[in-house]
């Protein structure tokens, strides 16, 4: 998934507008307060409930209270930016799926929600874990920064946990010596099949994977020992996914985790198509 550094943009926006607001409270507003006192002194003893004194008084007060444009904008934007910042940084963050590496689970154009607190609260921008909550579980669909592209979001399924021994030979996944059973759901296309849809289960997650009848380059043979604090990732589209099987550094460290993908909320493939909510639901 393409990465625009929104956490950094939001952090800067919140800091700048917040500082300007505070600066106005303690420094910039002083001339306005003095002007208001001067107006009160000027109109002292006058009947400001009657015209034309009322109009003159109200106009003078409005002029004295007028804030600089930068202060006005900062006060308007700061609460909105702060709410968005908190939600995106610590609760849920939306993403759009740009490739088919997770088909059939996730399709190009799916808009998903990623839970940012499932695996612990992390400091925005630096992604430093502040509060440990849960650890990734086998079968979770996870968003992360891959080891070879530290500024690009990836989404794959957690296959190997720290300490696991992973083997993948001709589409047969073996974890710690135990083969993962697969159940063929369909052959596509029906008249001259080239791929198969298979049902697999990892931990509590039962999902459908897509495999070519002829195993691709990354599906023929591989062996990996997952180090502590790292995870082995694979796409559900097993022969069209560049993942831990093909990276020079195969494993995703804990500090590169972004969050757990939990739901599809909309599908919108392009600007020239209509958005659809038919695929909305939890991610298995």
The torsion region of residue 241 among left (phi > 0), alpha (psi -120 to 50) and beta comes to beta
Q: Which residue ranges make up each domain of the chain?
A: 6-89, 91-282
pLDDT at position 126, please? 84
Q: Does 101 qualify as catalytic in the annotation?
A: yes
Residue 157 scores a pLDDT above 90: yes
Which fold would CATH assign to domain 91-282?
Umud Fragment, subunit A (2.10.109)
Tokens of 95: 């993403």
Tokens of 125: 């921008």
- Supply the mean pLDDT for the chain: 94
The pLDDT value recorded for residue 1 is 64
Contact 233, 159 (CB under 8 A): yes
At 71 the pLDDT is 96
With cut-offs at 50, 70 and 90, classify the pLDDT of residue 146.
Answer: very high
How large is the average pLDDT for residues 40-62? 90
Compute φ and ψ for 63, nearest 5 degrees.
Answer: -65, -40
- Tell me whether residue 241 is one of the annotated catalytic residues: no
> Could you tell me if 207 and 236 are in contact, meaning their C-beta atoms sit under 8 angstroms apart?
yes
Q: How confident is the model at residue 188 (pLDDT cuts 50, 70, 90)?
A: very high
Whether residue 65 has pLDDT greater than 80: yes
Please give the pLDDT value at position 257.
Answer: 97
Taking residues 142-152, report their average pLDDT.
92
Q: How many Å apart are CA 195 and CA 177, to the nearest integer?
A: 26
Residue 253 has pLDDT above 60, yes or no: yes
Could you give the CA distance from residue 21 to residue 28 in angstroms, rounded to a whole number?
Answer: 9
Q: Give 84-131 pLDDT, tens digit per residue.
A: 999 999 999 999 999 999 999 999 999 999 999 999 999 888 888 999
Whether 194 has a pLDDT exceeding 80, the answer reads yes
3-state secondary structure of 235: coil
**Cα–Cα distance between 125 and 114 in angstroms, integer?**
16
Q: Following DSSP, what letter does each residue of 89-109 receive, concatenated?
A: HHTEEEEE--SSTTTTTS-TT
pLDDT value, residue 49: 86
**Would you tell me how many other CB atoms lie within 10 Å of the CB of residue 183?**
11
3-class secondary-structure state, position 233? strand
Determine the pLDDT at residue 7: 85
Q: What is the pTM of this model?
A: 0.88
- The percentage of the chain sitting over the pLDDT mark of 70, rounded to a whole number, equals 99
* Interatomic CA distance for residues 138 and 14, integer angstroms: 36
Length of the chain: 284
List the one residue out of 256, 284, 8 whose CA is nearest residue 153.
256
Residue-level pLDDT at 3: 55
Q: Are 17 and 77 in contact (CB under 8 A)?
A: yes
Tell me, what DSSP letter sits at residue 74? H
Among 74, 89, 116, 156, the active-site one is: 156
For residue 193, pLDDT over 90 is answered with no
| Cα 24 from Cα 64, distance rounded (Å) | 14
| Of residues 126, 149, 181, 141, the one with CA closest to residue 246 | 149
pLDDT at 4: 63
Q: For the residues 221-241, what does the mean pLDDT come to?
A: 97
**Do 257 and 150 contact (CB within 8 A), yes or no?**
no
Say what the pLDDT of residue 200 is.
97
Tell me what the mean pLDDT of segment 246-252 comes to: 96
């Amino acid at each position: 998934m393409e990465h625009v550094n929104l956490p950094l943009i939001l952090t800067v926006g919140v800091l700048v507008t917040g500082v300007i607001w505070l600066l106005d409270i303690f420094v910039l507003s002083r001339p306005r307060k003095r002007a208001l006192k001067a107006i009160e002194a000027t109109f002292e003893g006058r009947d400001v409930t009657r015209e034309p004194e009322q109009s003159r008084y109200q106009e003078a007060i409005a002029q004295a209270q007028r804030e600089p444009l930068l202060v006005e904008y900062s006060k308007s934007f700061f609460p909105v930016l702060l709410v968005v910042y908190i939600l995106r940084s610590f609760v849920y963050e939306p993403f759009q799926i740009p490739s088919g590496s997770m088909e059939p689970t996730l399709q190009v154009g799916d808009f998903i929600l990623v839970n940012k607190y499932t695996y612990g609260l992390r400091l925005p921008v630096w992604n430093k874990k502040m509060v440990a909550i849960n650890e990734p579980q086998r079968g979770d669909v996870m968003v992360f920064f891959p080891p070879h592209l530290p500024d690009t979001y990836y989404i794959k399924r957690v296959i190997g946990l720290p300490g696991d021994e992973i083997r993948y030979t001709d589409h047969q996944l073996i974890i710690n010596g135990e083969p993962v059973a697969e159940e063929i759901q369909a052959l596509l296309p029906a008249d001259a099949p080239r791929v198969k849809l298979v049902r697999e289960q990892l931990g509590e997650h039962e999902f459908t994977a897509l495999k070519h009848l002829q195993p691709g380059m990354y599906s023929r043979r591989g062996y990996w020992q997952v180090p502590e604090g790292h995870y082995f990732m694979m796409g559900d589209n097993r022969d069209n996914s560049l993942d831990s099987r093909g990276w020079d550094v195969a494993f995703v460290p804990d500090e590169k985790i972004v969050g757990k993908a939990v739901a599809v909320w909309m599908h919108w493939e392009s600007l020239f198509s209509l958005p659809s909510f038919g695929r909305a639901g939890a991610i298995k």
